[in-house]
Amino acid sequence: MLEIRGVAKSFGRLTAVEDLSVTIAAGTIHAFLGPNGAGKTTTIRMCVGLLRPDRGTILVDGHDVAEDGVAARQIMAYVPDEPYLYDRLTGREFLDFTARVYGLTRAVFAQRLGEASERFSLGGFLDQLAEGYSHGMRQRVVLAAAMLHAPRLLIVDEPLVGLDPRHIRACLEFLKDVANQGGAVLMSTHTMATVEEIAHQVTVIDRGRALASGTVAEVRGTKGLEERFFELTEGPQGGDAPVP
């Protein structure tokens, strides 16, 4: 579903991502783990077409994101690390706008809005202007927007930040539903317990390089995932130099 082939990205003299290759199959949840500044968000932004790789190729269901971005984005949804809404629109208006961008009929939009509203408890504020939303409320609306067109690829960058325990559970169930219905999920997170709970595959990234990749069991080996993570990122190949 998502293929990252030998991708590299630099900003001036700073190498953010270096020769990264990852394949994410349909029906799976793949987690990126890494310290702050490891290159995870840069990689995600290349996957969704916000940045162009200096080298390498990114394919979404066979579509080159750099060369055929419209076709690639039609089947994906992206939840960034900061939930951006238009402050002078209500949540309902923002979701309606999103549905129109994806060409949903009014009937389909109404059905999926109801499902998303129930899952993320939007009813209490959906008709208020977004300028008054808390971070968690914004995050719930952005997650609801990602549900609307039933994406086959869902890319989420730190999706649990700002959510209370109830809506963390709702978000994780959403991710699992996408995978269970034959889609693929790429998730960046710092939460080890979440990775161990729902991820099928994990890639540990530091300084723009993949240090380990495989199933959660393969990456952690005989140790806990947290211990293995620190061993990888604090060892000779890891480091503290930040990248975007």
pLDDT tens-digit map of 7-49: 999 999 899 999 999 999 999 999 999 998 899 999 999 999 9
For residue range 142-167, list pLDDT tens digits in order.
999 999 999 999 999 999 988 999 99
Mean pLDDT of the chain: 91
pLDDT recorded at residue 244 = 43
- Where b means 16+ CB within 10 Å and e means fewer, 80-116 reads beebebeeeebbbbbbbebbeebebeeeebeebbeeb
As given in the structure block, the two tokens for residue 16 are: 């953010």
The domain 1-75+151-244 is placed in CATH, from the list 3.90.79.10, 3.40.50.300, 3.40.50.150, 3.20.20.70, at 3.40.50.300
Domain(s) of CATH 3.40.50.300: residues in the chain: 1-75+151-244
Beta bridge partners of 156: 79, 187
Q: Per-residue pLDDT for 222 more than 90?
A: no
For the whole model, what pTM was predicted? 0.90
Mean pLDDT of 222-233: 88
